[in-house]
Amino acid sequence: VGAAGAFMGVVGPMGAAISASSEYRVEMTRIGNTSELSREQSKLLGDDLLEQSVKFGVAADKLRGGLGEMVAGGIDPTVAINSVGSMANVIKAYNADAIEVGATNNALITNMGYTAQGLKRPWDILATSAAQGNFELKDMAKWLPTLGASVKALGSVGDEGTAVSGAFLQIAKRGAGSADEAANNYQNFLQKLSQGGTEKNAKGMGFSIRDTMLKAKKEGLDPVEAAVLKIKDITGGDQF
């Protein structure tokens, strides 16, 4: 019995490792199938992710989860793999949820105009903003995918748009009881900027939100920031 127990003590962990490895391969194949990759391409993708897992010191399953979220959001896996380095750094440095980081990467690529290779820059911008206030990076990772379409529609993109979103989320947090409430308030504000009723009210106060934002775009400024500053200048109040 002692020998059998000792044997199982060795086989048990090994069996678990083999099972985990098998599950990892199955999930990588599923990711490949989503994008119609061949079996060989899926294997190479999985091997690449394992290598990066060792390189950056983040569990392969976490990186696979983030990569899978990006693929589910329409990003080609052979493109998404280029974001793994920045993804790993965010997960490791801020204990961020891999799925949320993957979803945020999607928003940064699809809505904010970044490439998979260039995601370090926006994450640095967001991290800097998070360090200056109470809206934490993990909260940004949670909410930017939701806010992305709104800021894109208003033309608030790139480094400037990312910085503006980070800064205004901090401002919104000051008057909110939670990060979720702050993000909802900011989302509602973004949506109202493009509504006819808001434009009508603005004109009744002697200015046009639409014209303010168009002028900002032409001058290379962020349209959302321009609108916020104009509203604050006219009303003297807190737009959030």
What is the predicted pLDDT for the residue at 240?
Answer: 53
Crossing angle, helix 137-153 and helix 158-174, to 10 degrees? Answer: 120
* DSSP state for residue 96 in the 8-state scheme: -
What pLDDT shows up at residue 30?
Answer: 86
DSSP codes of every residue in 14-66: HHHHHHHHHHHHHHHHHHHHHTT--HHHHHHHHHHHHHHHHHHT--HHHHHHH
CA distances from 131 to 86, 101, 127 (A): 18, 18, 6
Looking at residue 182, its pLDDT comes to: 95
Residues of the chain with pLDDT below 50 are 1, 4, 6-20
Whole-prediction pTM? 0.80
Give the pLDDT score at 238: 55
Nearest to 239 by CA among 201, 218, 221, 126: 201
Q: What is the pLDDT of residue 11?
A: 42
